[in-house]
Amino acid sequence: MVNHIHKIALVTDDVESAVKFYTEKLGLEVSERFPNEDDEDYVFLDAGGFTLELMPAKTMKAPPGFHHISFQVPDADAASESLSEKGVEMTAEPFDVGVGGIRLAFFNGPDNVNLQLFQRSE
């Protein structure tokens, strides 16, 4: 079942400046960093029950701003299949990201809001 928001992801053109803002001004804490060989890190911030993800604009090839809402699921493949059976078109079938035991899939909600399935096996 897809009913638990895991994170909201934002694209930024200066990850470290954004980290400084969210930690120093709002009091969020860095919970995890994912090194990115060719650009700034991806950063997860603890936002009191869910995660705020900061993503580097250069790597994402996207302008700064909102990117997606992520729903945590125990099995991205099963959730993707269930959504497909309900007529939801997946924009990216489940795939492993290669770090942290993370498996993702993407689909669009109303008004083309980018939505993500997030599975983590540790």
What are the E-state strand segments in 24-113? 29-34, 42-46, 51-56, 65-72, 90-96, 102-108
- pTM of the full structure: 0.89
pLDDT averages per 10-residue partition of the chain, 122 residues? 91 97 96 93 94 96 96 96 96 94 96 96 81
Place of tokens 């035991």: 101
Domain boundaries, the chain: 5-120
Nearest-10 Cα torsion for 26, 24, 22, 13: 150
**Residue 35: what are its φ and ψ, rounded to 5°?**
-55, 140
Answer CATH for 5-120 from 3.60.15.10, 3.40.50.300, 3.10.180.10, 1.10.3720.10: 3.10.180.10
pLDDT at 66: 96
d(CA 69, CA 78): 19
